[in-house]
Structure 1
Amino acid sequence: MTDALQMAQRRFRAQPIICARTKAVKGLELLSRSRLDFNDPQGMLMADVEAIKAAWAVANHYRGSMRVHCNVEISSMGSLLWTDTMVEYMCPGVVVELVERNDSLTCSRSFSRICQTVQWVRRMGGVMAMDDWTGKAIEMGMLRELTPEFVKVNEPRYLRELADCGLGLGTQIVVERIESLQQATDAERIGATELQGYWCDVHVEHEFPAEFTPPGVIARDMALTKVA
């Protein structure tokens, strides 16, 4: 195990993303082990910089056979520091996941810069995901302009709206917050291609290193400890 991978595991846990049909692990989303202050743009920038470095380490460990999602705020993506780090560390297998949509994107200059950065991500071998899609007007615009390879929703009901948006061929739709087999079955039935959530964590916990400590496994173990 490389020093870079060990550092990534110390700073981030990982949550699996599984195929809705086969339940095989398709990717991992890196989640900070430290509490983040979302009201601190500079702190979030540094967290996002560390995330792209960690994604590089994990993707290299799997030699590109496992997708590795790392989160980035819109404010970070517009930063020269994040862009320079991305150019240095981006590699095939890394998925840059936009986790914030804000009013700054109503400015054509800001949106143009983000679109340019997305082009750089793809030129370096990475792909894009949009997180927490709810069908707001600004998200509709981003969907059209950024054409993300992955779109993530927290509730299956948004899948019907996505179906009317003319998604590109091959776009993967991930339903998050899956907490039971029934939810997994329902999400697949109405169009999800991939799933993420506590139930998924436990279902595939033996298929990747325990050092990643996915949150669903931790929650399960804590519940068992309380019962004991």
Structure 2
Amino acid sequence: MTESRTALVTGANKGIGYAIAAGLGALGYRVGVGARDDARREAAVGQLRAAGVDAFGVPLDVTRDDSVAAAAELLEREVGHLDALVNNAGISGELGPGWVQDPTALDVDAVRTVVDTNVLGVVRVTNAVLPLLQRAPLPRVVNVSSRVGSVTWQADPDVDLGAVMALYAPTKSYLNAITVQYARHFRGTDLLVNAACPGLVASDFTGFRGSRTPEQGAAVVVRLATLPAGGPTGGFFDESGTVPW
């Protein structure tokens, strides 16, 4: 058994990621604040520590193999195990007026960039820290997704998902699918893997257009990151329950 609970949150220097780190810290987790910007990362660590959270910085660019490998090595030295990994880092890609991303005008390089962060970044980080997760008694992985990644809701004309986001939304569908694959691989073990929808949160990411606070958005993520033994795996959840694929 490990002596203390530890977590890594990617993209944790602001917004929902910061709120997730704060929420886990309030539950007694030692939290690695993963972020690529040195100044913002250290500022977030300082704020978390001032609030009583046992936080430490993890330099991490999820799009770079060398950065992810270095982060895994730092975690090996610093904590030796992980009870929870929250893959929160993500980007929207360029948004047109009204947040529209026109599928007929997509730039292929832009698609690659968003997929590299929102999907491949999750695979890089998850696989790099799997040995640390597998040393924990009840390891949890939470991938922060979005309701716009629900193909069921995207295809339903009666569901209002806002503007067409042909660049961002499919990356969250892809993220949901890879979440299921990890869950299938680890089914029957203590490692649970789920996707979470925090809702439309007022943050830098949304241009502060959302109606929800980062703390409200973080709540479902924190719950999934701290599931008890026998909890669900391979699911997609928001605060109200299951989100359709």
Measured against the shorter chain, the TM-score band is 0.3 to 0.5
| TM-score normalised by L of structure 1 | 0.37
